Structure 1
Amino acid sequence: MKLKFKIQQFQTDAVNAVVDCFIGQPNERSRFTLDRGYIDSGLQIAIPYEVTGFRNRPIELTPAEVFDNIKKVQARNGLKISPKLEGQYNLTVEMETGTGKTYVYIKTMFELFERYGWGKYIVVVPSIAIREGVKKSFEITEDHFMEQYGRKARYFIYNSRQLHKIDRFAGDPGINVMIINAQAFNARGKDARRIYMELDEFQSRMPIDVIAQTNPILIIDEPQSVEGKKTVEALKLFKPLFTVHYSATHRQEYNKVYRLDALDAYNKKLVKKINVKGITVKGTTGTEGYLYLEGIDVSRKHYPFARLEFEKKTRSGIRRELRRVSVNDNLYDLSGYLEQYKGYTVSEINGAKNTIEFTNGVSLSAGDVQGDVNELTLRRIQIRETIKSHLEKERDLFYRGIKVLSLFFIDEVAKYRQYDESGNKLNGEYAQIFEEEYRMLVEEYLRKYDDEDRYANYLRQIDVEKTHNGYFAVDKQGRMTNPKVKARETDSEDEDAYNLIMKDKERLLSLSEPTRFIFSHSALKEGWDNPNVFQICTLKHSDSTIKKRQEVGRGLRLCVNQDGERIDESVPGIDVHDVNVLSVIASESYEAFARDLQREIAETLSDRSCKADIQFFLDKVLTNERSKNVGLKVNDSFYKEGFQKLWKKVNVRTAYTVKFDTEELVGRCIKALDTRLKVTDISYQIKTGVLETISSKEQLEKGKGFVVKESETGNGHMEAAAGARYDLVGKLVGETGLTRRTIVKILTGIKPETFALFKRNPEGFILKAGRIINEKKATTIIDKDHFSSY
């Protein structure tokens, strides 16, 4: 399939916002004699012929003229006027993820060449994933721009071992683009330093010198991830004519000339509508020794801390708590003396390796989960809900010729693919769950349609084994493997894995391709921007280091049909947000995901100016902040002699003694436990909400953007793990204050089915049985109360 591109007004506006900043600049080329270096560096024998190079002609406008142009563009686009020219010809373009940012800056290159003759560009990107995506964008837009401008751009990825491409970049008179990731010139490695070295294979020249001679225009893609102090200094060595920064989330803005933020893009239907399915699993047995290491906090001011989640016993039951722990912290104490945490004293926290070790030998790396019997239940529910959403969406779009894709992100290849000793492929647990759930749901789905239904026939023709596939790094034996991720980073730099993703981008859009469900490593998430991803499911523990906008951003692009045409508002007879809906099947509750996503979107929104006329103040109530002040005044009676004497009489320590009829108490407890004791089963709730429109930043900050559409619940049953051993009698003695003999009488008197509840949920049994016994104590008092002071 070949993707088709349209000329869209909002993208044209973004292009003109940059190009118009230099109105008045003459359209002329600038030539120079290209330094060819030496044939023999030792003898300093120069290459005996000259070569003409082409560079960007210097800006002939004065700074005041450029600044005046910038202010006119800002006024035209309704932006805040810059008080001064910020930086040396730095411009900022804000564009929401999924609206064609890369397309815009490629088209900007063509327009700048047409208007002013500027043809040298360097695109600086923060990662290999984005670098490969940019290269792919140049490939698929080549014919589109050829039709518009009658020329093609020459582009290449900088490689310190292929320096001949730099000479071609400098010597060609047309549009030339070098794509480079920041690590290629600002890292400490040997390859990164080569750009600053005189190299024999480059005729004793430094690559940076030849590049700088062309006075390139710098395009910074995602500057918030690129522009550290070190990178900013290194960029100056390129001697750029000017710099344009493109992102949805700028950390620092220079002379912003265009804005298309999340509010504009969403309400103008330039991206998909967002639908969230949140899943809450309720109830825990409190016996599995659950641990989740979220990460390690490292600081020069203190020893490393670990952000560790574990279970804790409270009055209301067992709940999970995320807290910072340090060396020598004892989880048995911190958990409220849960038996399964005996022996879990922190012995080492390693900030370099992102690991924590305990005195019992257990070790966890950041992101690891241990002892969570609920987790596999949650993952099955997530996979099931993703398949259900997929089938519902696919049914709607099949007759429109739109392929539906679902994307699963996982944190370990073995959970999807395993291999036997002979190298034969085997399903991992997630692939096995997927096939089980898919078969069941499709069989159920097909019952609704007759044999003549085209969509039903489409489903019947696809084998379950062929409808899912994995995209991961591959080792020398051709086996899927976990991608390489540097310490303290979340994205992979595995070039082969990204090449595989990019290679199959168009093929996956075809209805004749059976792959509809894709499993990929979470570290490869930046490589995925396929427009027909309608479901995203992250099968890993919710991580505070991963932004919700990052998860959503992989599926925001508007979809395309089998002709490669984008389904946007130019297509007659459709509502864009009826067709284009992205469903996120979250690994946490709906409330938590929706709240965090809205907060993150709100943080990126720029403040909008508002005309303060009479209508603006209509029906608004002004509140005097002074009315919230509260004055505290001590009652004068407190100091009176009579009150002080009374206070001394009642303010003494008192012993309280009660007596029970033991047999009566035992009988009442047995009856109450048999009739009232219930322990918590595992249950889950699935809640679905939609972000209809974004009316304002304040709406998102208050969490009012999403509207709940439906909610359903289900129940499960699970017996406790056998790892933790309990002194049940001793625990109930501690809860109630009764003797062991009395507790034994109560436990031996209850029904077998009541006692069986202990096996299902020991901690819940102890907590609730203790509460019931204490209630019966209070109603079995037979003698008067005895008080004595001491």
Structure 2
Amino acid sequence: MKLKFKTQEYQTRAVEALADCFAGQPFSSGIRYRIDPGEDMSLMKPMQRDMYASPEPDDAGFKNAALELTELELLSNIRTVQRRQNLPLSDGLKKDDKTGCPYNLDVEMETGTGKTYVYLKSMFELKQRYGWSKFIVVVPSIAIREGVYKSLQITADHFLESYGEKARFFVYNSKQLHNLESFSSDAGISVMVINVQAFNSRSADNRRIYDELDDFQSRRPIDVIKANRPILFLDEPQKMEGGKTLSSLNEFNPLFIVRYSATHKTTYNKIHRLDALDAYNQKLVKKISVHGVTTKGLTGTDAYLYLENIETAKDKPPVAWVEYEEKSASGVKRKRRKLSKGDNLHELSGGLDQYKGFVASDIDARVDQLSFTNGVELTAGEVTVDVTEKALRRIQIREAIKAHFQKEQQLFSQGVKVLTLFFIDEVAKYRQYDESGEVLGEYAQMFEEEYKCQLNQVQTLEDSEYNRYLKGISTSDTHNGYFSIDKKSKRLVDPKTKARATETDDVDAYDLILKDKERLLSFEEPTRFIFSHSALREGWDNPNVFVICTLKHSDNTISRRQEVGRGLRLAVNQLGDRMDDPMTVHDINELTVVASESYKDFVTALQRDISNDLSERPRVADESYFTGKLLVSDEGEVEVTPAMAKEIYRYLLKNDYTDSADHITEVYHQAKRDGTLAELPEALQPYAQQIFQLIDSVFSNAQLPHIGDGRKAKLNPLNENFHKKEFQELWERINRKAAYSVSFDSNELIEKCVGYLDLKLSVKRLEYQVQRGTQKAEASYQDLTSGQAFTVKESQRVKYNGTLHSAVQYDLIGRLTESTQLTRRTVAAILSKIQPKTFKQYQMNPEDFMAQAARLINEQKASMVVEHISYDPINEQHSQEIFTIEKPENQLEGAYRANRHVYDYVVTDSKIERDFVEELDTGKEVVVYAKLPRSFFIPTPVGNYNPDWAIAFNEDDVKHVYFVAETKGSMSSLELREIEQAKIKCATEFFDTIATAKVKYDVVDSYDKLMNIVR
């Protein structure tokens, strides 16, 4: 398989934030210079001359053009970018004295959101806008270096499609210095990836970068590099803050430095922020659940007892799955069984004295707790204190395998392969060696035993595709270890980590797990469980890691965010497509962490880590916070005035959305989740989206991501309602699949785009900043040489009303063609027909004109596609297996106990949906209904669409016996997102095509609305 990449709006914003910082920089195709040839090449051997000869006779190189913006202009650009995102404004260009670089920018992006992709795309954008082409990616470790190199490989074709060129890239190696010649002489995008050890280590190999080398024509490699004035991208800069490392960066003579991280320790000029809260709330990363495994002391007893989970079933009391010890003829063995209320462990164990008094008195599924008559209580995940390290690890492995199977049963039908990752501290626990060769280590033995046990419970006699898949994989083949390999013995070994190091620097430890990322994602590759050294914690990830299990002692020096980071990226299916449909993204993408501590302790530590990393977020929503912020609407940009800020503040107070300390309350967040937020005052409504974004930017504990306890997920079985003839008839009417086709007249699209551009296009005028200052009365020599001899007394921003005369030669038609995927002829026709006053805006601000025009054209294009779509039924149907294979799991506390639904419980996502279900389940007109599984979808040009409900009514009570419904909190088309509107229109066309007269599809916001339609 091949991973696919697509243009994502949130990543594009990060790229544009960087590029816009240099607005006004003239385009240059690169400054031509003569590469230092070193010693007289005529004295060299022919082979040496061939290797190091420059491709052009004059030894031409192409270095980055100098930054021509003044510091004042650059600061103004940076502040404009910051204001656009409502980030704290830089008072000045914060410089790094250690690196010596005066221009330092920070981009904050949460782990798993694609920061590597963002800075690679930024290279192409900077080349396209300004002509800069020499880039160096500096990383703190071999692992991250190999990950970046892999990303350069797999994104090459994607960027070729987007920008029309490929980057030339290489990993710096002191013994392969010919790459530096090509880096300097290539006029295209050239990227060097280097780890800090390669220039910041005392070893002979790593010091070569500073030495005059005989095999490099008596030149120093660092001199050849610095001649290019490269742009430096630092990946994970917080790990490269040592004084020696930072001062070494000055040797590269960087044009400017951009730092990319999720957790910056030192900030300079932050130009973009996508932190943990943003990523979670925008559903750009997986949500998290935790299975904590911890010991619990039992006073006066040596009993071993482990409570796995509480199981519930329809019309039956809950039971507890426990592991305990049982006496048999061959000795005492541990056994797993279900425990019901009243069961006596002393009797079940064969009379073992340690279990006297252990009679189950209560099994509470709401809190997953088992109580005994002797006062002992256990919560799921707890094991008695009389447990060895070996027993604890076995329990963790069992929990990880169970979580893996649960997720795999849900996602297999959607073409998503599930991977589980075990972190261990020494190779011997996984692989050992004796006279016979390689043998299983302790953890590998445990894994195979527990895997076979769980497999027997999962597999059924049903001849399903999933069962055939499981039968085709042997236990020994489904797990693998990725560790360093000793070059002499060819055996797996522990990595060579330096003192106080947290990662290995062994290159071969990463080959399979990094270079064969695509292979791991394929169902054809049997490996589903990965054992790796804990030193491999950072630097790699795989989108389909759904379970992480840390088989080691809790380490307080490692943050919980680091532990979960390897599994946060959104999953991909067998076609390489990201599973990021906003309607179902968190139903599919959930990471389970099996921790060697209690659920409460792990979650507390994780949320503390997240909160600490959000220290720059504002904490109070008072008038001063809102004043001066930037709001954007169709009418243009507006700065929040003190009067507007007072209105926002009063709105929050009036609705109890803030407390007496001006902190955002849980009332606000709950109302937002339920879709019941109070309306803003009329004057503020045009800016509603931006105002609520400002409110959401204020940190509160209620915003922290909800981290569930995976054990509370109860199996939700199908019931007899599924087999009712009414539901079976409904299913036969709607399960037909269809393919869509789209055809429309280009002239019609042109006319619609012309009218829309004339109506909506509003380009932001450029601004310039006037600053007035005076010289200090007593300026020191240091002030004079550092540019600090003057103090700014007054600053004013003035809109520029004239025409912009830029040295940059823009390809307007080409840029719009690329952004809209229309032909040059169509784009040219649109531009030629818009009104002169509309086109005149291009001269005021070309960049904003192109961005706005592309967005508006794409909106009309999407609208046209939907209007001209048609569906043709195909000879395929959705199988009833989708109701059983996915085996939906619900949180018992939040699920609705239903009577007429095909499952026992219904999960609701909002208060509106909950109210709808309660009336649906009690309405006498309803015979049976189902919340449709995620695998039931309708293909559309804007993504697959999954309707909410299928409902069968009593024939005597309604006109439309069968109904497919979509529930929305607002019926106003203006309040529905464009993508949702488009999908709903497509669904209407789909059901009009495939359904009979007795099936009706519509969008409703309440049960009353539903009944008005069907009667």
- Shift of the 405–706 alpha-carbon distance from structure 1 to 2, 3 Å rule, reads closer
Which residue number corresponds to residue 597 of structure 2? 588
Distance in structure 2 (CA, Å) of the matches to 1:61 and 1:421: 70
Are the aligned partners of 1:599 and 1:701 in contact in 2 as well (CA < 8 Å)? no
Are the aligned partners of 1:154 and 1:175 in contact in 2 as well (CA < 8 Å)? yes
Which residue number corresponds to residue 5 of structure 1? 5
Distance in structure 2 (CA, Å) of the matches to 1:510 and 1:709: 26
- Shift of the 78–374 alpha-carbon distance from structure 1 to 2, 3 Å rule, reads same
Shift of 1:477: 2.7
Which among 446, 461, 464 is matched to residue 472 of structure 2? Answer: 461
Give the number of the structure whose alpha-carbon radius of gyration is greater.
Answer: 1
Secondary structure, in 3 states, of the residue corresponding to 2:259?
Answer: strand
- Shift of the 527–478 alpha-carbon distance from structure 1 to 2, 3 Å rule, reads farther
Which residue number corresponds to residue 382 of structure 1? 396
Which residue number corresponds to residue 607 of structure 1? 617
The one-letter amino acid of 1:454's match is E
- The question of 1:69 aligning with 2:77 is answered yes
Q: Where in structure 2 are the equivalents of 1:300-315 lying within 5 Å?
A: none
Shift of 1:42: 10
Distance in structure 2 (CA, Å) of the matches to 1:607 and 1:175: 36
Which residue number corresponds to residue 447 of structure 2? 434
Which residue number corresponds to residue 64 of structure 2? 56
Are the aligned partners of 2:141 and 2:539 in contact in 1 as well (CA < 8 Å)? no
Which residue number corresponds to residue 663 of structure 1? none
Which among 409, 420, 423 is matched to residue 409 of structure 1? Answer: 423
- Shift of the 549–561 alpha-carbon distance from structure 1 to 2, 3 Å rule, reads same
The one-letter amino acid of 2:59's match is V
Distance in structure 1 (CA, Å) of the matches to 2:511 and 2:710: 39
Shift of 1:274: 0.7
Which residue number corresponds to residue 577 of structure 2? 565
Distance in structure 2 (CA, Å) of the matches to 1:266 and 1:703: 9
Distance in structure 1 (CA, Å) of the matches to 2:513 and 2:465: 30
Shift of 1:443: 0.5
Distance in structure 2 (CA, Å) of the matches to 1:544 and 1:398: 36
Which among 77, 80, 83 is matched to residue 88 of structure 2? Answer: 80
- Number of matched pairs: 557
- The question of 1:38 aligning with 2:46 is answered no
Distance in structure 1 (CA, Å) of the matches to 2:395 and 2:94: 52
Shift of 1:192: 2.3
The one-letter amino acid of 1:429's match is E
Distance in structure 2 (CA, Å) of the matches to 1:110 and 1:696: 31
Which residue number corresponds to residue 347 of structure 2? none
Secondary structure, in 3 states, of the residue corresponding to 2:222?
Answer: helix
- The question of 1:443 aligning with 2:456 is answered yes
Distance in structure 2 (CA, Å) of the matches to 1:702 and 1:253: 24
How far does the alpha carbon of each residue in 1:723-781 deviate from its partner, in whole angstroms, 9 at most, with x for none?
Answer: xxxxxxxxxxxxxxxxxxxxxxxxxxxxxxxxxxxxxxxxxxxxxxxxxxxxxxxxxxx
- Give me the TM-score of the superposition, normalised by structure 1: 0.67
The one-letter amino acid of 1:229's match is G
Shift of 1:482: 1.0
Secondary structure, in 3 states, of the residue corresponding to 1:526?
Answer: coil
The one-letter amino acid of 1:473's match is S
The one-letter amino acid of 1:118's match is W
Distance in structure 1 (CA, Å) of the matches to 2:90 and 2:128: 28
Are the aligned partners of 1:599 and 1:700 in contact in 2 as well (CA < 8 Å)? no
Shift of 1:24: 0.9
- The question of 1:512 aligning with 2:521 is answered no
Unaligned 5+ runs, structure 1: 289-370, 624-691, 713-790
Which residue number corresponds to residue 19 of structure 1? 19
Q: Where in structure 2 are the equivalents of 1:187-336 lying within 5 Å?
A: 187-283=201-297
Are the aligned partners of 2:290 and 2:592 in contact in 1 as well (CA < 8 Å)? yes
The one-letter amino acid of 2:502's match is T
How far does the alpha carbon of each residue in 1:476-528 deviate from its partner, in whole angstroms, 9 at most, with x for none?
Answer: 33221111111111210010111232222111100111111111111112243
Secondary structure, in 3 states, of the residue corresponding to 1:22?
Answer: coil
Distance in structure 2 (CA, Å) of the matches to 1:96 and 1:166: 33
- Give me the TM-score of the superposition, normalised by structure 2: 0.53
Secondary structure, in 3 states, of the residue corresponding to 2:579?
Answer: coil
- The question of 1:554 aligning with 2:566 is answered yes
Distance in structure 2 (CA, Å) of the matches to 1:168 and 1:540: 46
Shift of 1:695: 7.3
Higher mean Cα deviation, 549-558 or 467-476? 467-476
Unaligned 5+ runs, structure 2: 96-101, 303-384, 627-644, 662-672, 675-694, 714-1015
How far does the alpha carbon of each residue in 1:160-200 deviate from its partner, in whole angstroms, 9 at most, with x for none?
Answer: 11111111111110100111111111222222221111111
Are the aligned partners of 1:90 and 1:255 in contact in 2 as well (CA < 8 Å)? yes
Distance in structure 1 (CA, Å) of the matches to 2:298 and 2:563: 28
Q: Where in structure 2 are the equivalents of 1:734-773 lying within 5 Å?
A: none
Which residue number corresponds to residue 140 of structure 1? 154
Shift of 1:616: 3.9
Are the aligned partners of 1:39 and 1:47 in contact in 2 as well (CA < 8 Å)? no
- Shift of the 197–286 alpha-carbon distance from structure 1 to 2, 3 Å rule, reads farther
- The question of 1:119 aligning with 2:133 is answered yes
Are the aligned partners of 2:290 and 2:708 in contact in 1 as well (CA < 8 Å)? no
Which residue number corresponds to residue 741 of structure 1? none
Distance in structure 2 (CA, Å) of the matches to 1:186 and 1:441: 49
Which residue number corresponds to residue 510 of structure 2? 498
Secondary structure, in 3 states, of the residue corresponding to 1:258?
Answer: strand
- Shift of the 206–287 alpha-carbon distance from structure 1 to 2, 3 Å rule, reads farther
Distance in structure 2 (CA, Å) of the matches to 1:553 and 1:274: 11
Secondary structure, in 3 states, of the residue corresponding to 1:383?
Answer: helix
The one-letter amino acid of 1:24's match is G
- Shift of the 496–284 alpha-carbon distance from structure 1 to 2, 3 Å rule, reads farther
Are the aligned partners of 2:105 and 2:271 in contact in 1 as well (CA < 8 Å)? yes
- The question of 1:452 aligning with 2:447 is answered no
- Shift of the 102–146 alpha-carbon distance from structure 1 to 2, 3 Å rule, reads same
Which residue number corresponds to residue 481 of structure 1? 493
Which residue number corresponds to residue 598 of structure 1? 607
How far does the alpha carbon of each residue in 1:280-335 deviate from its partner, in whole angstroms, 9 at most, with x for none?
Answer: 122389999xxxxxxxxxxxxxxxxxxxxxxxxxxxxxxxxxxxxxxxxxxxxxxx
- The question of 1:398 aligning with 2:401 is answered no
- Shift of the 701–492 alpha-carbon distance from structure 1 to 2, 3 Å rule, reads farther
Which among 417, 420, 423 is matched to residue 434 of structure 2? Answer: 420
Shift of 1:569: 2.5
Distance in structure 1 (CA, Å) of the matches to 2:705 and 2:135: 43
Are the aligned partners of 1:451 and 1:457 in contact in 2 as well (CA < 8 Å)? no
Instruction: Tell me: higher relative CO, structure 1 or 2? Use CA pairs within 8 A at least 6 residues apart.
Output: 1
How far does the alpha carbon of each residue in 1:10-69 deviate from its partner, in whole angstroms, 9 at most, with x for none?
Answer: 0000000000111111111211111110037999x9999630110000011111111111
Are the aligned partners of 2:553 and 2:596 in contact in 1 as well (CA < 8 Å)? yes
Which residue number corresponds to residue 688 of structure 1? none
The one-letter amino acid of 1:594's match is V
Shift of 1:462: 1.4
How large is the Cα RMSD of the aligned pairs?
2.9
Shift of 1:621: 6.3
Distance in structure 2 (CA, Å) of the matches to 1:145 and 1:101: 15
Distance in structure 2 (CA, Å) of the matches to 1:485 and 1:33: 42
Which residue number corresponds to residue 325 of structure 2? none
The one-letter amino acid of 1:427's match is L
Are the aligned partners of 2:288 and 2:708 in contact in 1 as well (CA < 8 Å)? no
Are the aligned partners of 2:290 and 2:709 in contact in 1 as well (CA < 8 Å)? no
Are the aligned partners of 1:401 and 1:561 in contact in 2 as well (CA < 8 Å)? yes
Shift of 1:112: 0.4
Are the aligned partners of 2:141 and 2:196 in contact in 1 as well (CA < 8 Å)? yes
Q: Where in structure 2 are the equivalents of 1:688-699 lying within 5 Å?
A: 699=700
Distance in structure 2 (CA, Å) of the matches to 1:520 and 1:175: 35
Secondary structure, in 3 states, of the residue corresponding to 1:506?
Answer: helix
Which among 97, 103, 118 is matched to residue 104 of structure 1? Answer: 118
Are the aligned partners of 1:601 and 1:700 in contact in 2 as well (CA < 8 Å)? no
